[in-house]
Amino acid sequence: MLYRELGKTGYKASLLGMGCMRLPYIDSSDMTKGVDREKAYEMIQYAVDHGINYFDSAQGYHNGDSEAVLGEALDNAKIRDKVWITTKHPFWAKSEPDQIRKNLESTLKKLRTDHLDTLLMHGIGPGNWNDILEWDIWSIFEKFKSEGLINHIGFSYHGNYDHFKEVVNHYPWELCLVMHNLLDVDREVTAKGIQLASDLGVAVTIMEPLRGGGLSNAPKVVAEVYDGYSVKRCPSEWAFRYLANMQGVNSIVSGMSNIDQLKENLAIFSGDDLIPGCVSQAEHDIINAARKAYQSIVTIPCTTCNYCLPCPQGVAIPTAFSLYNDGNRFEFYDQVRRSYMFNRRGGRGAEKCNECGECIKKCPQNINIPEQLKVAHEMLKNWEE
């Protein structure tokens, strides 16, 4: 396992971090039955035994059970002192100081520890930034830090580079968790944002390196691109190498759902060449060609321009189309269906469409949106947990 300095924290984190949002379920067809604790314990122990020392969780993962499972596994094996734990305070939870303290106390109890290595403000983005500024959560986090309850303050982020630049410059953060992968190079923070954070001394950890598992699957047109290169690698290795090549990346956090996925990822990260600059020009050409091949597999010609919004019924139209297209692009449907489940729970699912036709008038691509929403909904609807 390779290790990189975690920004200005003084800690050397494993390049492969373990995300605890996709722990194994007792029954993958019925997520309501919860996490398979024995399998999760085995995975966490195996990860630590093979060099992973960075773990990422959040209060909301697995309906609030992720932190508890991680804490139990580390406590049972007496290995808490061997790992770095990052977890998150959700901005959508009540943000009064007393409630934030109660949330932290609950998290510490679940994790069976007296402190967190990092506490992140969860899911900062353009839509909630003004509220976060008004709440002045930093002063609350700093008090926790002075009491020894947390060691470092950070944030996880979903949004564009311009807004990320404002956020990362607002406070002397010590760590950020951002989305980046070989497909989404022009979305979210981008490589430019990762370099900016690194230049500021902020540790950068990566979420969704495999796009929810999608990039571990290569449909035919992508497989043909990869097969054209002299060195044979699985799709996951290409995705991980793309990120490992970046100077500003400190740890790549991957959610793994079974021991085989963990072993496969560990094998990829066991080499000594996953260092900044490890990707040659020829390999960059392959990655760029693979990206174009993925992008060619789009069923609904939505460009996410958002002209169709706001929908009078509250349907998140571009999101539904994007998830549908990703399912077809990756030939992998679990993650997109899970994401769509949260849209439905939030009242933004396509089943709310009443075919008023307002969106059709606004769409520059001339998509029959109500009809295509039916198609997307039919493919995405079958996920519950």
The secondary structure of 61-95, three-state, reads HHHHCHHHHHHHHHHHCCCHHHCEEEEEEECCCCC
- Measured N-to-C along each axis, helices 235-244 and 259-268 cross at an angle, to the nearest 10 degrees, of 50
User: Which has more pLDDT, 28 or 185?
Assistant: 185
Confidence of residue 330 (pLDDT cuts 50, 70, 90): confident
Kindly state the tokens that stand for 7.
């920004």
- Measured N-to-C along each axis, helices 369-380 and 317-330 cross at an angle, to the nearest 10 degrees, of 50
Question: What gap in Å lies between CA 344 and CA 351, rounded to an integer?
Answer: 8
pLDDT in tens, 183-239: 989 888 999 999 999 999 999 999 999 988 889 989 899 999 999 999 999 999 999
Confidence of residue 87 (pLDDT cuts 50, 70, 90): very high
Question: What gap in Å lies between CA 186 and CA 327, rounded to an integer?
Answer: 20
What is residue 164's predicted lDDT score, i.e. its pLDDT? Answer: 95
pLDDT in tens, 165-174: 999 999 999 9
User: Which has more pLDDT, 63 or 196?
Assistant: 196
Partner residues linked to 87 by β-bridges: 119
Tell me phi and psi for residue 81, to 5 degrees: -75, -5
Confidence of residue 28 (pLDDT cuts 50, 70, 90): low
Mean pLDDT of 30-55: 91
The helix/strand/coil state of 311 is: coil
Chain-wide mean pLDDT for the chain? 91
Question: What gap in Å lies between CA 286 and CA 377, rounded to an integer?
Answer: 34
Query: Residue 337 in contact with residue 383, Cβ under 8 Å?
Result: yes
Per cent of the chain over pLDDT 70 is: 97
pLDDT above 80: residue 364: no
Query: Residue 215 in contact with residue 181, Cβ under 8 Å?
Result: yes
pLDDT above 80: residue 303: no
- Would you tell me how many other CB atoms lie within 10 Å of the CB of residue 319? 20
Partner residues linked to 153 by β-bridges: 119
Candidates 239, 244, 331; CA nearest to 286 is 239
Mean pLDDT of 148-157: 96
Helices (H) and strands (E) counted in the chain, each on its own, are: 15, 10
User: Which has more pLDDT, 150 or 327?
Assistant: 150
Half-sphere exposure at residue 227, Cβ-oriented, CA atoms within 13 angstroms:
7
What is residue 92's predicted lDDT score, i.e. its pLDDT? Answer: 65
What is residue 137's predicted lDDT score, i.e. its pLDDT? Answer: 87
**Distance between start and end Cα atoms, the chain:** 34
Report all structural domains of the chain as residue ranges with CATH numbers, in order of start.
3-288 (3.20.20.100), 317-380 (no CATH)
What is residue 108's predicted lDDT score, i.e. its pLDDT? Answer: 96
Confidence of residue 31 (pLDDT cuts 50, 70, 90): low
Give the pTM: 0.84
Candidates 9, 2, 15; CA nearest to 154 is 9
Contacts of 3 (CB under 8 A, 6+ apart): 12, 13, 14, 15, 53
Cα torsion at 383, 103, 173, 246 (round to 10°)? -30
Query: Residue 60 in contact with residue 89, Cβ under 8 Å?
Result: no
Query: Residue 108 in contact with residue 148, Cβ under 8 Å?
Result: no
- Would you tell me how many other CB atoms lie within 10 Å of the CB of residue 357? 10
